[in-house]
Amino acid sequence: MDKPTVDWIKDVVSRQNEWRSSCVNLIASENIMVTELPKFESPELYYNDFMHRYAEGEPYKRYYNGTKYADELEVEAIEYFKKKFDASYADVRPISGAVANIAVFSAMPRITNIVVTNSLPSGGHITHNKMGTMTRLIGRNVYNFPTGENPFTTDVDKAIKLIRKMNPDFVVFGKSMFLFREPVKEIHDAFPDLTIVYDAAHVFGLVYQGVFQQPLKEGANIMTSSTHKTFPGPQGGLIILKNDELGIYEKSIKTQVFPGILSNHHLHRIPALLAAAVILDTELTDYAKRVVSNAKAFAEALYNEGFDVCAADYGFTETHQVVVDVSKLGGGAKVANELEKNGIICNKNSLPWDKSVVKPSGIRLGVQEMTLKGWTKDDFIELAKKFKNILI
């Protein structure tokens, strides 16, 4: 077919739709929108007139006209998340988790200009770190939390010593390779005045449904997130504030979101975002619980099939993720490619002990999408057998 004609473009889209909907999707940062499930299917919640519009500013204080329905929905979404988390402020305008992080990290005061966060090999995200947003864009100096005996967690005593020594403006918890809870309470207890940002991008669906730690109750001041990983909403971002009685963070973060960073905030996703929250609260109330129990079952099944599943001594996982050391099988890239040839999609991932990020020795598997589609523990036990047939 000639390219790029409109028919060719449509054909690529239809091939993508057919391919990825027939695959076993295990990318831990992805999901489908819950409003795509046959039971809740409502394309108008995402494909709607809002996608053609602008609504710069805040609801009912916009810079353009024509926004009365955008205002109505955005206020409802803000209030919904505020109520859910007993929060003083919620911002649904960031168009992704990274954008939410940029807004927050750049809004914080600069006294020492130092930030302490998780390193990339221990699961931290590029937006928190030196090679990405935090230093490259925002110009802050980054120090990393030391890992504990379980290398997928932070050593709390050493972290306290590091914070005492570096006196950071704020610390960031939350990870991309995220198996166990973060020591939010421990650090808050040790430093009650320290600003804690918790990036819930990966675990937001689990936090939302109360099956993982509750960072804002444990002492975090600010939670940022994506809305499309374990939380099965449209791709987007979110900022939620608590412990901000004086409104200090709210004022500076709000201004960073607009006019600091955004102009258009992709209004068409707001209905699908609010609908996802409502569906999780009313219809799929056990979704997050099923996610975590499926992840544990999958980890155990892979272990029983002979795979080097990480954190075996610590119960494998408390989240949607399972991490496997596949160095003996040729490394993460080789294994992920082999799985893709067999219709299973996952990603290679560095492990805490990898010397370089160039040849990751692990793979990261997320069970949230298949769980949303109805997979049970038995399906994951079968999948573990398939992994063995393909890889060992």
Ligand X SMILES: Cc1ncc(COP(=O)(O)O)c(C=O)c1O
CA distance 204 to 382: 28
Handedness of CA 94, 95, 96, 99 (dihedral sign): negative
Query: Among 140, 175, 185, 268, which residue sits at the site for ligand X (rule: CB under 6 A)?
Result: 175
Residue 59 CB, nearest distance to ligand X (Å)? 23
- Is 133 a binding residue for ligand X by CB under 6 A? The answer is no
Query: Among 130, 202, 242, 265, which residue sits at the site for ligand X (rule: CB under 6 A)?
Result: 202
Cβ proximity of 298 and 383 under 8 Å: yes
Residue 236 CB, nearest distance to ligand X (Å)? 7
Query: Among 25, 26, 27, 29, which residue sits at the site for ligand X (rule: CB under 6 A)?
Result: 29
CA distance 333 to 169: 37
CB proximity list for 167: less than 8 A, separation 6 or greater:
112, 114
DSSP 8-class letter at 229: S
Q: Which is nearer to ligand X, 234 or 271 (CB)?
A: 234
- Is 226 a binding residue for ligand X by CB under 6 A? The answer is yes
In the numeric block, which tokens belong to residue 136? 């490259």
- Is 98 a binding residue for ligand X by CB under 6 A? The answer is yes
- Is 96 a binding residue for ligand X by CB under 6 A? The answer is yes
- Is 176 a binding residue for ligand X by CB under 6 A? The answer is yes
Residue 137 CB, nearest distance to ligand X (Å)? 13
**H or E stretch at 239:** strand 237-241
Question: Pattern of binders to ligand X over 228-257, x per CB under 6 A?
Answer: ---------x--------------------
In the three-class reduction of DSSP (H, G, I as helix; E, B as strand; rest coil), residue 62 is classed as strand
Which residue is closest to ligand X by CB? 97
91, 88, 89: which is closest to 74 by C-alpha? 91
Q: Which is nearer to ligand X, 36 or 199 (CB)?
A: 199
CB proximity list for 254: less than 8 A, separation 6 or greater:
58, 89, 91
Cβ proximity of 47 and 290 under 8 Å: no
Q: Which is nearer to ligand X, 202 or 348 (CB)?
A: 202
Query: Among 125, 130, 242, 254, which residue sits at the site for ligand X (rule: CB under 6 A)?
Result: 125
Residues near ligand X, by CB under 6 A: 29, 96-98, 101, 125, 127, 174-176, 199, 201-202, 226, 237
